[in-house]
Chain A
Amino acid sequence: MAGRRVSKWVVAVPMALLALATVYPLVFTANVAVKTRREYVLDRFSPADALRWDNIAAAWTSVGMSRYFLNSALVVTCSVALLLLFGSMAGFALARLRFRGSSVLFLGCLAALFIPFQVIMIPLTRVMADAGLVDAYPGLVLAYVAQFLPFTVFLMTSYYSTVPAEIVDAARIDGNTVYGVFWRIMLPLGRPALLSVGVLNALFCWNDVLISLLMMPSADHRTLMVGVTSLRGQYSDDIPVFASGVLIAAVPVLVVYLFLQRQIADGVTAGATKG
């Protein structure tokens, strides 16, 4: 018993150090973001002597971070709304309605899940360019929807499969159309799954850089993550402003993580345990 306790601490100390190594990089960046340039050059580690917001303000106004922030917010909101709508429609139909070809369609979605974006990015850019959707907000939204829809359909189908068939039958007997069942029963019932999938999709879209780089070439249309990469070039000699820009881009994600940690982990593991 004593031996076990000792071995527990042998494990616990490295784990605590690792936890520190996980959190410290962000703490470091946040500290740099409120330092003056002089303070940073003299001592990188010491806590800033005062909370100053000049760097954050400079990063926000200087290279169009506010514009990029709004671009990202707009594109992510539209993408997630469409993903949830289309994903739950298809998930409900595939899980709860019998129709010819439903299993083929489900397998098709599953197959599409295993196509990485890098494999289709060149032909996809062509298809989008032919449709006049490159460098336009609807184009980027559509690219995100296409990228994350197979995952959304898959999770919504598995979620709706767990809803008892009696609920659908009862709603039908009460005189609902199929659309009524979807809109009045299934969509509200799906709220926990929609929250998980929605938060995950929002993170994926917000964090993406590759799809956005390809679909939005002009500077005005950049999303926040692409904006952060350009910030680096312009502020390579002013690290505190650069760190501020990084922090601005990370804050929404951190806030979402603090409040919806459970839902994010649920979404990640739902894919794992059902796959």
Chain B
Amino acid sequence: MRPAVVGPGAEEAVAEAPARRPARSSPRRSRRGSRAERLAPFVLVAPAVLIIVALRLWPLALGVNFSFTGDGDRNGTSVGLDNYLTLFGDPLFRTALRNVGLLVLLLPVAVAIPGLLATFIYLRVPGHRIYRGVYFFPAVLSPVIVGAIFNLLLAYDGPVNAVLGVVGLGPVDWLGDPDVAIFAVVGVHVWATFGMALVVFLAGFSTLDRSLLDAARVDGASLPQTVWHVIVPGLTRTIQFVFVTTMIGMLTSMFGLLYVMTNGGPEASTYLPEYYIWVQQGQFNQPALASAASTALFLIMLVVGLAQVAVLRRAGREG
């Protein structure tokens, strides 16, 4: 460990540190009272705080500020809300927003699947011991790997269509049909991440009072009744957490899938805000516009997160 450096500027920090109990013996010889010791907490947090401030909080402020300046010829000049007007007039960004709306609609499904599976595992269906490990494993794979694997599976002449053919259904152009592609990508994302939510649900179940379930069984409650009247109210906090994290995951961790599987296509139908930011910055060299999109994405996430917490809190109180 690097010893605490006592140099100019250290005096102020010492003055700010709360005075510790004076040691009984000579303060100069006591380790407890020495200046290096009092500085120690600051030395310990310094690397983390410096990195977080310089590379997360500061860029956030820069980005918001940047979104009110111009691109290209107007580089650096203040343009007010111009970028935001351009943004909402851009059909690509509107597609991205429409897809966010779609994600919000699909969200209950993405939460219900792991929730139900966790319930069954908790109620010990046959084989419940292995399911947790099996379902969770795609969650550790990179979106790039998942996307690449599903590129093979969803190819027009690929295995999924071959199976559909056996059942007698026509081949589907999973990644080439603008009406289908976004569902294919979101479906793959759910396939890859439901295990994560499942594990969180199972952790929530471990805090549930098992005697309530026994009471429900004695009273002759059916499975749907047990789920609705015992499990859902008991897990409000967990459900809330999974809703918010699943939504954030959909809005921020599909880049790898989009990049590998569709590149935003076909006909720009699979854009999400994060992909839009990447394209504006990298391909069209419009960093200020991209910053406006970033700020918009941040606001969307804030609103979605707060709305979900509010709705679920009310639901929890009624339950």
Which A residues have a C-beta under 8 Å from some C-beta of B?
7-9, 11-12, 15-16, 18-19, 21-23, 25-26, 28-29, 32, 44-45, 85-87, 89-90, 92-94, 97-102, 105, 108-109, 111-112, 115-127, 142-143, 145-146, 149-150, 153, 172, 175, 177-179, 182-183, 203, 206-210, 213, 225, 228-229, 232, 239, 242-243, 246, 249-250, 253-254, 256-257, 261, 264-265, 268-269, 272-273, 275
Contacts and interface: CB of A to CB of B under 8 A. Distances in A.
B135 A117 contact: no
Nearest to A270: B203
Contact of B44 (A92, A109, A123): A92
B117 A232 contact: no
A11 B135 CA distance: 15
A136 to B, nearest CB: 15
A142 B51 contact: yes
Interface centre among A28, A102, A112 (most CB of B within 10 A): A112
Contact of A122 (B142, B191, B255, B290): B290
A250 B153 CA distance: 17
Interface stretch (B60-68, B72-80, B81-89, B173-181): B60-68
A264 B203 CA distance: 13
Contacts, number: 268
27 contacts: A8-B125, A9-B126, A15-B117, A23-B137, A28-B159, A29-B149, A32-B152, A44-B158, A89-B44, A100-B16, A108-B49, A115-B298, A117-B252, A118-B255, A119-B294, A119-B297, A120-B63, A123-B291, A126-B62, A127-B58, A150-B56, A172-B32, A207-B141, A225-B142, A232-B260, A268-B196, A269-B199
A146 B55 CA distance: 6
Given A44-B158, A121-B281, A257-B137, A178 B49 contact: no
B197 to A, nearest CB: 9
Contacts of A256: 140
Given A175-B31, A249-B142, 12 more contacts: A12-B125, A29-B152, A89-B48, A93-B44, A98-B41, A115-B57, A118-B294, A146-B51, A209-B259, A225-B142, A250-B142, A264-B136
A172 B40 CA distance: 13
B131 interface: yes
B278 A18 contact: no
Size bin of chain B's contact surface: 35 or more
Nearest to A249: B145
> Chain B interface mostly helix, strand, loop or mixed?
helix
Given A94-B45, A105-B45, A269 B142 contact: no
B277 interface: yes
Residue of B42, B53, B241 with most partner-chain A CB within 10 A: B42
Contact of B48 (A32, A100, A153, A243): A153
Interface string B154-168: 000011001000000
Contacts of A18: 117, 135
Contacts of B1: 179, 182-183
Given A122-B291, A264-B140, A116 B162 contact: no
A123 B59 contact: yes
Contacts of B142: 206-209, 225, 249-250, 253
Given A22-B138, A121-B281, A253-B141, A15 B196 contact: no
Given A98-B18, A100-B16, A121-B281, A22 B140 contact: no
A11 B223 CA distance: 11
B98 to A, nearest CB: 18
Given A19-B134, A86-B51, A257-B137, A225 B59 contact: no
B228 interface: no
A145 B51 contact: yes
